[in-house]
Amino acid sequence: MDAATGEPLTWVDRVAHDAYAAYSLPLQSPDDGPRTLEVDPADPTASPFGWHDRNGLAGADTNFTEGGNIIATEDRDADDAGGFRPNGGANRVFDFPVDLLAAPAASE
């Protein structure tokens, strides 16, 4: 704040906006169109603390694909041991390159 005028000198948005690269409705697959970056898609009524909450308190508890009763992970060996989980970083931006012509593991 400017001491003389009371006007803000800078503004910083400290709210993390989760973002996911997805084939949004009505798209159902890569054949239907391109991915778009969906920002804050969680329904505030269904998920009042967002999709990355595990403890029912405001704020995300994880930067991985988990929270709200799920842990989304690959299970290549079908052994339920889990495996690779994307990390969206501190801002939880899940926007990674994908090569649909390569083997699935190439996109990890």
- Residue 10, pLDDT above cutoff 90: no
Question: 71 near 79, Cβ under 8 Å?
Answer: no
- Residue 17, pLDDT above cutoff 80: no
State how far the Cα of 79 lies from the Cα of 99, in Å rounded to an integer. 26
CATH number of 18-97: 3.10.170.10
Residue located via tokens 């899940």: 94
Environment class of residue 58 by beta-carbon count within 10 Å: exposed (0-12), middle (13-18) or buried (19+)?
exposed
- Residue 106, pLDDT above cutoff 90: no
Q: What is the pLDDT of residues 75-86, one digit of tens each?
A: 888 898 878 889
Once rounded to an integer, what is the mean pLDDT over residues 40-51? 86
